[in-house]
Amino acid sequence: MGKISILGVNFDAISKTEAVECAMARIREGKKGYVVTPNSEIVYMARSDAQLKRLLNAAALVLPDGIGIVHAAKILKKPLTEKVAGIEFAADLVGELAKEGRSLFLFGAKPGIAEKAAQNLKKQHPGLIITGCRDGYFKNDAEAIHDINAAGHSDVILVCLGAPKQEVFMKAHLDELNGTLLCGLGGSLDVYAGAVERAPDFYVDHGLEWFYRLKKEPWRAKRMTALPKFLLTVMKSKVTGKEDK
């Protein structure tokens, strides 16, 4: 499994199928770790946040979530195998967990969302064991850790707190949490719960998911300016031959 660096973030050049296989191998071995799925906004943020960059690069899997990352890799002539959207990786991973009768904890989102997501996932995957749910609103990390651990051991914990909060939480508490693999997945629980609709296949297949989200949530316009800034920075790094370390 090769690595490619984009502005100092080291992505795994890996397909979604290979990523799921790698994750399952760690789970079977009981090898603790965490998975991150940075998009262009997060990579751009990491340029000025050394802590964020370090914890991204310390992950067991760094998956290229977003068409911006794929375009950047092409610009740098470091092609990735494919885009690996976190929500799709997790969906396939949950399917594999269910086949083996393994366990999952859902952590994050607004109150009630994780429980609804759990119901939907159980319907889709009857063999899946849901150890518990916990919303993303807590006074301190110790409170959340206690609630997660009280459910017993979980093969996978989906940590959906939004970036970079979820990445900081996973890195800081990996050893304390009673789980094998932690996966940072942003707003995925809202989609699994049916509270948020994911972009139709046409937009996903053509790298226009960002455009669909912008139409649905125009307030995101300011945040999405990170994409052109990110690509311009990548092009500059190619011309100068200097990449963030």
pLDDT tens-digit readout, 134-161: 999 999 999 999 999 999 999 999 999 9
Q: In angstroms, rounded to a whole number, what is the distance separating the alpha carbons of residues 15 and 209?
A: 19
Q: Supply the pTM of this predicted model.
A: 0.89
Q: In angstroms, rounded to a whole number, what is the distance separating the alpha carbons of residues 74 and 67?
A: 11
Q: Is the dihedral of CA 114, 198, 141, 28 positive or negative?
A: positive
Q: Is the dihedral of CA 188, 191, 192, 195 positive or negative?
A: positive
pLDDT attached to residue 217: 58
C-alpha distance across the termini of the chain, in Å: 21
pLDDT attached to residue 104: 98
Give the pair of three-digit tokens for residue 87.
């929500």
Instruction: Using alpha carbons, select from 44, 82, 105 the residue that is nearest to residue 228.
Output: 44
Give the pair of three-digit tokens for residue 17.
């199928």
- Which helix (DSSP H) or strand (DSSP E) does residue 158 occupy? strand 154-160
- The percent of residues in the chain predicted with pLDDT above 70, rounded, is 85
- Give Dmax (Cα) for the chain: 53
pLDDT attached to residue 231: 84
Q: In angstroms, rounded to a whole number, what is the distance separating the alpha carbons of residues 134 and 152?
A: 13
Over 80: is that where the pLDDT of 213 sits? Answer: no
Say how many CA atoms lie within 13 Å of 67 toward its Cβ.
11
The DSSP annotation for 19-64 comes to HHHHHHHHHHHT--EEEE---HHHHHHHTT-HHHHHHHHTSSEE--
Q: Determine the distance from the C-alpha atom of residue 231 to the mean position of all C-alpha atoms in its chain, rounded to a whole number.
A: 21
Beta pairing partners, 4? 11
pLDDT attached to residue 130: 98
Q: Could you report the per-residue pLDDT of 42-95, keeping only the tens digit for each?
A: 999 999 899 999 999 999 999 999 889 999 999 999 889 899 999 999 999 999
Q: In angstroms, rounded to a whole number, what is the distance separating the alpha carbons of residues 126 and 113?
A: 19
User: Which amino acid is located at 201 in the chain?
Assistant: D
